[in-house]
Amino acid sequence: MAIETQYTANTGMATISTANSNIDGTGVLTSILTAGAYGTAIKAIIIKAQNDTSQGMVRFYVNNGVGNPKLIKEVGIPIVLSSSRDRTYSRIIPLRYTLAPNDILYASTQNGEVFNIIAIGLDWSYGGTVRSDRTQFYANTGIGTISTANTNRNGTGTMTQILEAGVANVLTKGCLIKSITIKALQNVTPGMVRLFLEDLSSNKYLFYEVVIPPANYSGTFKSFIFNVPSFSWLRIQDGYKIYASTENSETFAVTANGVDWDYPV
């Protein structure tokens, strides 16, 4: 019988900030993700600036252990001025690049500006024989309330944990985030709600900002609500967490709908 292919989330996150104008694999490069023993499929990469940006470039490299890391992609960065009501630069890249076993994905920035780089990957390995019912799924729905003002984008300050991947079962292989909803629990003024990913070392990385417009509710008008666009590609590894914060001292409920997956023995 055929051998079953099994997938495990491999989420790489790091901050880049040191200027490097080189494209030959030299200069300051930051390790983002290391491929698994059989290889890793990079589904998407998130680039999220922490502050204002000037015109420049973010570059991605792969190190296969032979010579300098090789440039595989450049992303042009535009001028973006941020505020309490204006998002910093953000881009989601459907990279669809496959790393060979133990290859390393690196990133660099043309200018000395701070970017969070998040790589969404899936390692693969081989388990038992193939069965149509082999994969098991566990609902993982996280909800939290945010209300304390926090203007920081660097992962510090007061924020609330919304969801942890792998809570349903200690043997799960990761969590697929299907949706995130932000719902105001009061009248709101212009501001921002921010979403962060936390790694196993408790480092938090900003990955999404939601602009909050002025909105009043009544017996005939709903309070503010926002559904973050589909995260069908967002798979985070066990133990990683989603946090949320609010720019203003206003109360929001944040709900994340996820599904953990596992391959039972």
pLDDT of residue 233: 79
Mean pLDDT by 10 residues, the chain (265 residues): 79 98 97 96 96 98 91 97 95 91 97 98 79 77 97 98 85 92 98 97 97 97 92 88 98 96 82
pLDDT of residue 131: 54
Distance (Å, whole) CA 33 – CA 237: 12
The total number of residues shown for the chain amounts to 265
Domains of the chain: 3-129 (2.60.120), 136-262 (2.60.120)
Considering Cα of 15, then 18, then 23, then 24, what sign does the dihedral take?
Answer: negative
pLDDT of residue 168: 66
Residue 58's closest CA among 12, 18, 102, 10? 18
pLDDT of residue 133: 57
pLDDT of residue 1: 42
pTM over 0.85: yes
